[in-house]
């Protein structure tokens, strides 16, 4: 009997063993193929990065080599600098450097990209490169040479020693210290040297992008935990401020703030974030579960407008609407006279099951309100601005709006809502120069359209 069983089971066990070995081999081959593919992608991105940084150095040199009056060559050179820098930034993002301090180099390239783009798009025949901008280009030329040399040194070590980027990824996620890796050490050296470069005057438009908002820049005296509890209770209608849990974030830093949490009876919760200076509310979220859609957009908009007015945000104008998963989100902006102030925006999320507000984001409104720039009076009439539109553009409405353009400048524009080629757009025409500042495609957006004149 045992012989009979073994005669049956032994072939079956043999087949299962062979099958498991084949399966294991295939799994190992697939895993190795994935690792090889990832390694090849990392190697390609790294070598492309080294090439583009070297190319950046050459292009900066070419731009400086031409005559100071050669505005066409300057524009061409700066456009190439912007394109090459953008490619280098993209290649950095493809490398496993998330856990590696390489932020100084990334910011340096970002500033070069923004500087070259903003300089290239302006009319250089009317506003040629200034002495300060030429000085910047010379400094960038020298700095890019150093970065290129350091990256090439790392590249030579990678090639000569057959180093693998997969080992870099493993070393970065490892808890062991110190991290002894040639590639990691090379990138740390590059970033350290970049941090020691002399500070350049990038101009107000570029520098404003890197002026990080902080609560220290807001007006008002610092508030206490008890004051936050009182304000959170007032905002939500809670009858028991003492039960509200308040957490202080970033104590002693420029990002100090408070988060208030209120637990509901049904397992839901409400969360509110306040600035430490002045106790300004910057966000509100209600985690309740949404039911089936039963409220129209018109009813939801009325609820959102009433909510803002009740919570201390008067005279806000809705400019867009998006709907997702039984929730509608309205974007409101403030208004000065007949000009919409787009930088001062508040978004309100409404549950379309019963129309109750489930969230609000007001950080832009709070920060921009402190630094409001009165909108400039338009020099063009609406009829003159309309001439700068495409002749096929079918206008549906127009209004005055203040926006922040690509130069990080706040400008007064004529906002024309309309359609062309089967799609809806907002086109913002500079009310002084007639330049098309920006164009936005409208998707599931319902702007409030004033009467047409």
At residue 298, the pLDDT reads 93
Strand-strand pairing, 339-351 and 394-404: parallel
Sequence-distant contacts of 236-241: CB under 8 A, at least 24 apart: 236/262, 236/270, 236/272, 238/262
Q: Supply the Cα-derived Rg of the chain in whole angstroms.
A: 29
Mean pLDDT of 37-56: 83
Rounded-to-10 torsion of CA 333, 335, 341, 343? -40
Q: What is the percent of the chain with per-residue pLDDT over 70, rounded to a whole number?
A: 77
At residue 339, the pLDDT reads 94
Does residue 27 register a pLDDT over 90? no
Mean pLDDT of 33-37: 70
Confidence of residue 329 (pLDDT cuts 50, 70, 90): very high
Q: What is the percent of the chain with per-residue pLDDT over 90, rounded to a whole number?
A: 29
Q: Mean pLDDT, the chain, as a whole number?
A: 80
pLDDT in tens, 264-279: 777 778 999 998 888 8
pLDDT in tens, 335-377: 999 999 999 999 999 999 999 999 999 988 988 887 788 899 9
How far apart CA 311 and CA 324 sit, in angstroms, is 25
Q: What are φ and ψ of residue 335, in 5° steps? A: -140, 140
At residue 452, the pLDDT reads 44
At residue 332, the pLDDT reads 95
Sequence-distant contacts of 165-173: CB under 8 A, at least 24 apart: 165/39, 165/42, 165/43, 165/46, 165/95, 165/96, 166/35, 166/38, 166/39, 166/42, 168/42, 168/96, 169/96, 172/96, 172/98, 172/99, 172/100, 173/99
At residue 177, the pLDDT reads 47
Confidence of residue 330 (pLDDT cuts 50, 70, 90): very high
What ranges in 267-421 are assigned the alpha helix state H? 297-310, 363-370, 382-386
At residue 100, the pLDDT reads 60
Of 46-60, 196-210, 222-236, the range with the highest mean pLDDT is 222-236
Residue 399: enclosing H or E segment and its boundaries? strand 394-404
At residue 235, the pLDDT reads 92
CB 310 within 8 A of CB 235: no
Residue partners of 99: CB distance under 8 A and separation at least 6: 172, 173
Rounded-to-10 torsion of CA 33, 39, 41, 45? -170
- Ordered structural domains, the chain, with CATH: 2-206 (no CATH), 217-369 (3.30.310), 382-441 (3.10.450)
At residue 447, the pLDDT reads 45
pLDDT in tens, 67-84: 777 888 888 888 888 888
Confidence of residue 252 (pLDDT cuts 50, 70, 90): low
pLDDT in tens, 110-150: 888 888 887 887 778 888 888 888 888 888 888 888 888 88
Does residue 444 register a pLDDT over 60? no
């Amino acid at each position: 009997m045992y012989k009979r069983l073994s005669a049956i089971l032994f072939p079956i066990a043999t087949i299962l063993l062979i099958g498991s070995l084949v399966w294991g081999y295939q799994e190992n081959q697939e895993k190795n193929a994935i690792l090889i593919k990832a390694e090849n992608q990392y190697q390609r991105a790294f070598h492309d990065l080294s090439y583009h940084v070297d190319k950046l150095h050459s292009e900066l040199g070419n731009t400086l080599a031409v005559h100071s009056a050669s505005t066409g060559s300057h524009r061409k050179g700066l456009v190439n600098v912007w394109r090459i820098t953008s490619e280098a930034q993209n290649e950095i993002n493809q490398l496993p450097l998330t856990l590696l301090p390489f932020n100084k180099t990334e910011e340096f390239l970002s500033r070069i990209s923004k500087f070259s783009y903003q300089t290239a798009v302006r009319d250089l025949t009317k506003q040629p490169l200034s002495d300060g901008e030429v000085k910047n280009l010379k400094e960038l030329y020298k700095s890019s040479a150093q970065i290129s040399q350091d990256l090439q040194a790392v590249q030579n070590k990678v090639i000569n020693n057959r180093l693998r980027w997969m080992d870099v990824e493993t070393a970065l996620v490892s808890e062991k210290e110190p991290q002894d890796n040639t590639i990691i050490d090379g990138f740390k050296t590059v970033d350290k040297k970049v941090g020691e470069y002399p500070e350049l005057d990038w101009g107000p438009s570029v520098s404003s992008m890197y002026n990080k908002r902080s609560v220290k820049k807001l007006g008002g005296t610092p508030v206490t935990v008890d004051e936050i509890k009182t304000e959170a209770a007032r905002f939500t209608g809670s009858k028991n401020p003492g039960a509200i849990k308040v957490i202080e974030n970033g104590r002693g830093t420029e990002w100090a703030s408070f988060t208030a949490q209120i637990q509901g009876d049904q397992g839901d919760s409400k969360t509110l974030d306040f600035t430490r200076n002045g106790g300004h509310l910057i966000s509100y979220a209600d985690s309740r579960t949404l039911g089936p859609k039963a409220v129209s957009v018109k009813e939801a908009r009325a609820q959102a407008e009433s909510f803002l007015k009740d919570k201390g945000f008067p005279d806000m104008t809705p400019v867009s609407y998006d709907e997702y998963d039984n929730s509608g989100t309205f974007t409101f902006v403030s208004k000065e006279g007949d000009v919409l102030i787009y930088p001062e925006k508040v978004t309100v999320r409404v549950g379309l099951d019963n129309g109750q507000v489930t969230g609000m984001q007001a950080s832009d409104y709070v920060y921009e309100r402190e630094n409001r720039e009165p909108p400039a009076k338009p020099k063009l009439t609406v009829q003159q601005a309309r001439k700068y539109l495409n002749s096929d553009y079918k206008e549906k409405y127009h209004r005055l709006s203040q926006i922040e353009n690509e130069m990080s400048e706040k400008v007064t524009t004529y906002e024309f809502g309309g359609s062309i080629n089967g799609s809806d757009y907002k086109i913002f025409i500079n009310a002084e120069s007639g330049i098309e500042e920006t164009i936005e495609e409208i998707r599931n957006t319902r702007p409030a359209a004033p009467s047409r004149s």
